[in-house]
Chains A and B, each alone.
Chain A
Amino acid sequence: MEQEEIQVLILITTVIVLILAVTLIFFFFYFQQKKTAYLIKQRETQQQFEEEITKSKLEIQEQALQNISWEIHDNVGQLLSVAKMQLNILQLNVPEEQQSKIQETGDIVGKSLQELRGLAKSLNPDTIKNKGLIESIKLEIDRFNRLNFINAFLKISDKPFNLSNEKEIILFRILQEFSNNTLKYSKAKNLVIELNYTNNQLEIYAEDDGVGFDINDKSKHQGIGLLNMKSRATLIGGKIDLKSAENKGTKLHISCPK
């Protein structure tokens, strides 16, 4: 081949190779950009959808709890009040030796009434809205202490601030779930709940000294509502961490942004 021909050949090869390379690169990058953007959008839609579902589940749950709470307060509560009144009236008409027994029964009915009202309050989302998170937890702690088989205690750091109603209800329900587990399964003697307010975060620690459980045993997660707690916490942008081991108690840590 002539020198000149070789040179032209090289030039043409170089140009073709270059054009091919650049076209391919831009094509692939463009294609992949579109694809990735589409996938991300799809993932976001899916997430939004799941969030909506969790939200409506919670709403339904809160509504149901409110109905139960009204029912307890207005229906069962009223009936017990009437029963107590009837007992008081009855007390006047019975012989002396039976009065103390009736008095005792009246007291039990009164106590039941008080417990039911406490329960109604703790179930009703309006209580949390009106009283706020700290007050509601205090009420709940008092209720536990009245049961007389656990020592519940609440610690609150300086400078507490208010969170939105939605956040407070969700945090309260998570703590309620945890405490109910403690009462039902843990056989714990002590339950400590700590609210630690920092600059832009609320850190909640809840701890019991009960029998604990194997955190790696996934079958238990459903029973204690761990998934439920997690999806609720995600809804308010919080993080949840549950630690437990057999015979070593259970610790819950929630961090929720302001």
Chain B
Amino acid sequence: MIFKYGYIVIYVIILSVGLFHFKKYKHSFLLKMWLYFLIYSFLTECITRYIVEIYRVRTITLNNTWFILNVLFYMFFYLHNIKNLVRKRLIISLSSVFILMNIIMSFYMDYTKEYFVYSNIIGQFFIVLSIMIYFVEVLKSEIILTIQKSLIFWISLGVLIFNIGLLPVFVIGELIDWQGIFKYIILSMNILMATSFITGFIVSKKEFNT
């Protein structure tokens, strides 16, 4: 039960807190985009759950689409948060590699029938790299002094923990047939990420959410 509907509950909690504190970041285009992305993720979760439960079919296309959009969204998110040109170029190259990799993979795998596990692993790794690049920029600037009051920091922390935590289990996932501990780790990572997001909504201040 908890593995079936837990994620939907998590999303509902994040979105409710997020909408409650909407006025703190409604002036920021990127943060609004991020909220819309969360809503899209929530809808994907609901629809896939509905299809799986009612029609008893797998929803690989929807999942693969979410995997890819998730990676591309965060790349875009950090691309716009970073000001340094060299770092921007680095993120653009990472996204290009990711897109190219998915195109090549779609020649060998069926997008509608197989999970793009490896592209997902690489994607998670790229997200981690982008966040590191963002952190390097923040560490070198004066933003660091008030960083805990900025929602973007808490988003980054949550997404970083989520993706780093999932890397080992995704790499070895095939060996354990994506069962057992896999489910627990995914759920706990989601809870950790949600906690970070919610902390961000609560402690962030309007003037630092630019």
Chain A residues within 8 Å of B, Cβ to Cβ: 3, 6-11, 13-14, 17-18, 21-22, 25, 28-29, 32-33, 36-37, 40
Whether the pair A25, B168 counts as a contact (CB closer than 8 A) is: no
Would you mind naming 28 contact pairs between A and B with Cβ atoms under 8 Å apart? A3-B176, A3-B180, A6-B175, A7-B176, A8-B181, A9-B172, A10-B168, A10-B172, A10-B182, A10-B185, A11-B185, A14-B185, A17-B165, A17-B167, A17-B168, A18-B165, A21-B160, A25-B135, A25-B160, A28-B139, A29-B144, A32-B139, A33-B144, A33-B147, A36-B144, A37-B145, A40-B142, A40-B145
From B147, B180, B181, residue with most partner A Cβ within 10 Å: B181
Main secondary structure of the interface of B (DSSP, over half): helix
| Shortest Cβ gap from A9 to chain B (Å) | 8
| Shortest Cβ gap from A16 to chain B (Å) | 9
Complex CA distance for A218 and B31, rounded to whole angstroms:
46
| Shortest Cβ gap from B200 to chain A (Å) | 14
Complex CA distance for A29 and B134, rounded to whole angstroms:
13
Which residue from chain B places its CB closest to the CB of A3 in the assembled complex? B176
Range, interface on chain B: 20 to 34
Complex CA distance for A11 and B189, rounded to whole angstroms:
12
B169 in the interface (beta carbon within 8 A): yes
Whether the pair A36, B145 counts as a contact (CB closer than 8 A) is: yes
* Residues of the A chain whose Cβ atoms lie less than 8 Å from the Cβ of B144: 29, 32-33, 36
Partner of B164 from the list A8, A17, A28, A33 (CB cut-off 8 Å) is: A17
B94 in the interface (beta carbon within 8 A): no
A-B contact sample (10 more), CB < 8 A, given A36-B142, A40-B145? A6-B172, A6-B176, A10-B169, A10-B176, A17-B164, A17-B168, A18-B164, A21-B160, A25-B135, A32-B139
* Residues of the A chain whose Cβ atoms lie less than 8 Å from the Cβ of B181: 7-8, 10-11
* Residues of the B chain whose Cβ atoms lie less than 8 Å from the Cβ of A28: 135, 139
As a 0/1 sequence over residues 147 to 187 of chain B, the CB contacts with chain A under 8 angstroms (1 = contact) are: 10000000001001100110111001001100011100100
| Shortest Cβ gap from B129 to chain A (Å) | 13
Whether the pair B145, A18 counts as a contact (CB closer than 8 A) is: no
Which residue from chain A places its CB closest to the CB of B177 in the assembled complex? A3
* Residues of the B chain whose Cβ atoms lie less than 8 Å from the Cβ of A8: 181
* Residues of the A chain whose Cβ atoms lie less than 8 Å from the Cβ of B145: 33, 36-37, 40
Complex CA distance for A213 and B71, rounded to whole angstroms:
57
